[in-house]
C-alpha cells in the first residue's frame, strides 16, 4: 500500500489521478492536503519537489507526470474551501509551481497546499506585479515582484524568512515582474520624474533605456529575454550581452505590434508568436538574426494567447476560441456563443495543464468554463458555472480548478476536482 510521503499519522487516504497506460499519477493527500506523485518506474510516492525517486533513485518530475495525466472530463465536484485571513484583500492572481499554490491578494502573497496556508509574504502597501520560478538541483525558489521590491520565497524551507533580493530607489518604481536566467535576475523599472523605463539586472545594473511602453518581459529558454515595445521585438541574450531586434515587416507586408496581447515563446521551434494590429506573426530566431513572418490569422485586436507544452497556440477573443498549430493554421475553433454555451468573451487568457486546456466565458454575472482535451477538443467537460464574476481567473492544475471567492468581504479559495479517470 503506497502512502503519503509527508509526515503525519494516518497516511492511507488520498485522491489519485492515474494514467492507466503507464501508471503515472499525481495524488492529493486528503489528510494533509499536499500534492505528491508516483515514480513511473517503481510506483513509489514522492514529494512534489522530488528530482529523484526516494525508492529506486530514478530521475522524476512532477511536471512530466502532470503532462501525462488523464482526467475524467464528464463531471467535477467541490473538494474544499480554503479561507484566507480577513486582512488579505481581494485575490489578484493564482499561480502554481511544483505542487504549491501561490495566492496573490491586494495585501499579501500566500503559499498553500490544498488544505492550508504554509507561508506568507506581506506587501505592506506595495503593489504586487507578478511571480516567476527558479528550479535547479539545489534550489526551488519563487520570485515575487512588487512595485518596490523583488522577494524570494524558498520552497525547500517555507519556515525561512522571505528574502529581499532588490529594492528600487525612492525615485523609481518597478513596472514589470522579474524574470531569471541561469546567472542573473532581470526586470523593468521606471523613473518617477521622466517617461524613461530601464531594463536592468541584479548583477550588471541598467542594460538599456526605453521611452515608450514595454510589455512584461518574456523568457525564451534558459538565457534569452524578449522585450516588446510598441514598434519592435528585442531579444537580449544574457550569455553574450547582445541585443537584436525585429519589426513586423516581411516583403511588402508590415504591421505594428498589438501591445494589448502578451507574446508567447515556443521552446521547441525557437520562435515567438505575437499579434500585430493586422495579423498574427511568428518571429523565428535564426543564427543571430530575428525574422518575422505574417501568419494566416487576422487580428480582432482583443486577443489573449497562451502556448501549450507541445507548441500549440491557444487564442481566445471576441469571436471565439482557437487552437492553432505552430504554422498558425487553425486546428480547432469554437464560436464563444456555443462553447461554453451562450456566453460572451471575458477577456481572459486560456490556460493549459498537460493534455488539457480551459477556455472561459461570461454569462451575465457568472463565469462559465469547460476543460477540453487538447488532442481532441470536441471532448470536453461538463460546463462549470460559477456565480459572482471573480476578481481573477481561476487556476487549472493537476485536475483541479482553484477559484477565488468572496462572501461578505471574506476571501477564500474554492477547490473543485474533476472526478475519477478519463
Ligand atoms: Zn499527507
Ligand atoms: Zn522509483
Task: Give distance in angstroms: CA of 71 to centre of ligand 1.
Answer: 22
**pLDDT digits over 215-243, tens only?**
999 999 889 999 999 889 999 999 999 99
The pLDDT value given to residue 313: 97
The pLDDT value given to residue 18: 53
The pLDDT value given to residue 339: 58
Ligand nearest to the CA of 4: 1
Task: Give distance in angstroms: CA of 49 to centre of ligand 2.
Answer: 14
Percent of the chain exceeding pLDDT 90 equals: 61
pLDDT band, residue 357 (cuts 50/70/90): very high
**Window from 11-25, 184-198, 265-279, 388-402 with minimum mean pLDDT:** 11-25
**pLDDT digits over 169-214, tens only?**
999 999 999 999 988 999 999 998 888 999 999 999 988 999 888 9
Per DSSP, the three-state class of 383 is coil
Closest CA relative to residue 416, chosen from 377, 370, 374:
370
Closest CA relative to residue 185, chosen from 124, 139, 229:
139
- DSSP summary character for residue 382: P
pLDDT band, residue 12 (cuts 50/70/90): low
pLDDT, mean of residues 400-408: 88
What residue segments make up the domains of the chain, in order of their start?
Answer: 14-67, 304-389
The pLDDT value given to residue 284: 95
3-state helix, strand, coil in the chain (%, to 5): 0, 50, 45
Taking 80 as the threshold, does the pLDDT of residue 15 lie above it? no
DSSP letter string, 63-122: HHHHHT-----S-EEEEEEEEPPTTS-SEEEEEEETTEEEEEESSEEEEE-SS-EEEEEE
Closest CA relative to residue 253, chosen from 295, 299, 315:
295
Task: Give distance in angstroms: CA of 35 to centre of ligand 1.
Answer: 8
Give the mean pLDDT of the chain.
89
**Between these two residues, 69 and 12, which has the higher pLDDT value?**
69
The pLDDT value given to residue 8: 80
Task: Give distance in angstroms: CA of 135 to centre of ligand 2.
Answer: 21
Task: Give distance in angstroms: CA of 353 to centre of ligand 2.
Answer: 24
Amino acid at each position: 500500500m503506497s502512502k503519503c510521503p509527508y509526515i503525519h499519522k494516518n497516511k492511507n487516504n488520498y485522491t489519485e489521478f492515474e494514467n492507466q497506460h503507464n501508471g503515472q499519477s499525481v495524488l492529493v493527500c486528503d489528510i494533509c492536503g499536499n500534492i505528491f506523485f508516483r515514480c513511473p518506474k517503481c510506483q513509489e510516492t514522492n514529494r512534489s519537489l522530488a528530482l529523484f525517486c526516494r525508492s529506486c533513485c530514478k530521475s522524476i518530475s512532477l511536471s512530466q507526470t502532470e503532462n501525462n495525466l488523464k482526467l475524467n472530463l464528464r463531471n467535477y465536484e467541490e473538494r474544499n474551501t480554503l479561507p484566507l485571513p480577513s486582512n488579505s484583500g481581494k485575490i489578484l492572481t493564482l499561480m502554481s509551481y511544483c505542487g504549491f499554490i501561490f495566492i496573490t491578494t491586494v495585501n499579501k502573497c500566500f503559499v498553500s497546499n490544498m488544505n492550508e496556508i504554509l507561508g506568507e509574504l506581506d506587501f505592506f502597501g506595495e503593489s504586487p506585479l507578478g511571480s516567476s520560478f527558479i528550479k535547479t538541483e539545489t534550489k526551488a525558489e519563487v520570485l515575487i515582484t512588487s512595485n518596490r521590491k523583488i522577494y524570494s520565497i524558498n520552497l525547500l524551507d517555507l519556515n525561512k524568512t522571505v528574502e529581499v533580493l532588490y529594492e528600487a530607489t525612492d525615485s523609481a518604481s518597478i513596472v514589470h515582474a522579474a524574470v531569471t536566467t541561469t546567472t542573473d535576475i532581470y526586470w523593468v523599472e521606471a523613473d518617477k520624474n521622466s517617461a524613461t523605463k530601464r531594463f536592468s539586472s541584479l548583477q550588471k545594473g541598467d542594460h538599456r533605456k526605453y521611452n515608450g511602453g514595454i510589455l512584461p518581459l518574456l523568457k525564451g529558454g534558459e538565457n534569452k529575454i524578449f522585450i516588446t515595445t510598441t514598434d519592435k521585438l528585442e531579444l537580449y541574450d544574457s550569455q553574450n550581452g547582445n541585443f537584436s531586434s525585429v519589426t513586423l515587416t516581411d516583403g511588402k507586408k508590415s504591421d505594428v505590434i498589438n501591445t494589448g496581447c502578451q507574446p508567447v515563446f515556443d521552446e521547441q521551434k525557437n520562435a515567438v508568436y505575437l499579434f500585430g494590429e493586422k495579423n498574427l506573426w511568428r518571429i523565428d530566431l535564426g543564427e543571430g538574426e530575428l525574422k518575422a513572418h505574417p501568419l494566416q490569422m487576422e487580428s480582432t485586436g482583443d486577443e489573449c494567447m497562451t502556448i501549450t507544452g507541445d507548441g500549440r497556440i491557444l487564442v481566445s477573443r471576441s469571436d471565439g476560441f482557437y487552437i492553432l498549430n505552430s504554422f498558425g493554421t487553425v486546428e480547432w475553433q469554437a464560436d464563444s456563443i456555443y462553447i461554453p454555451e451562450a456566453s460572451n468573451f471575458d477577456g481572459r487568457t486560456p490556460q493549459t495543464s498537460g493534455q488539457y486546456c480551459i477556455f472561459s466565458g461570461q454569462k451575465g454575472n457568472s463565469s462559465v468554463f469547460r476543460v477540453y482535451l487538447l488532442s481532441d477538443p470536441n471532448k470536453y467537460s461538463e460546463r462549470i458555472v460559477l456565480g459572482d464574476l471573480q476578481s481573477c481567473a481561476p487556476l487549472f492544475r493537476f485536475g483541479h480548478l482553484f477559484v477565488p471567492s468572496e462572501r461578505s468581504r471574506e476571501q477564500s479559495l474554492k477547490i473543485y476536482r474533476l472526478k475519477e479517470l478519463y
